[in-house]
Structure 1
């Protein structure tokens, strides 16, 4: 008998889930992703990302709810409050959990494909990416985009979700 060996499909590797309480995560933006305000630091920063990585990071930023920082009468933040945002709070406050089906529908280049692997690969590569922010009066600095990424089962919907933690 001549048996041909079928090539094994490799699933993208995901790391073990860190000690994150999924119920303490900030919920997605109540505006359903209809607004995106990029800081000028991002506009004038130096970074090299694939199209899938850019689509993913813009989608996630757009759905990350920062309204608690701007809830005080809609005013701009004081310098001390601004500093606190950059202090890297708890991991739960810097993380977002979004269903892979929603991300796939929004950013997929190939609408016929049902595979999540391009999204997972893009998220994995974002963990290793750095952005060089060019300040006007200070030396430029490199910051990491994401600290952690994993694919988990959503506690509420039981769907596969992308857990992404910003640095």
Structure 2
């Protein structure tokens, strides 16, 4: 006889599939940029049309960090889908996701500035910061607040169980 699923498992499964799809899209976009086909859509997505190797390396590290963050989130969602309660391990996994996502987005945002610092053409340093960059960083950093809320909920649940 099969173990009964908890009621939230189908929702978590859908979110987990979305995260897996996002990870696959990220890999496909990275491969498309790395292979450098002559496609106008890929040219728009490419970070540094000049081909600065430092910017390319920073973007690679950022993409790998974001991929790692999505894999970490997928693991957390997989544990939740299997019915594991919110434990310290789940909270730690979510903190790892927040750290990887925030760190990789910071690297991606800092890549154009790194490109101007490492450019062989002496034209000064250009610090590039768009509103979209700020929004992405704020969203990624807000994951730490969500993780802290989950950690507090785990602590309250543990305290309530110890009382009973």
TM-score tier after normalising by the smaller chain length: under 0.3
Structure with the larger strand share: 1
Structure 2 length-normalised TM: 0.22
TM-score by length of 1: 0.22
Structure number with the bigger relative contact order (C-alpha 8 A, sep ≥ 6) is 1
**Larger-gyration structure (1/2):** 2
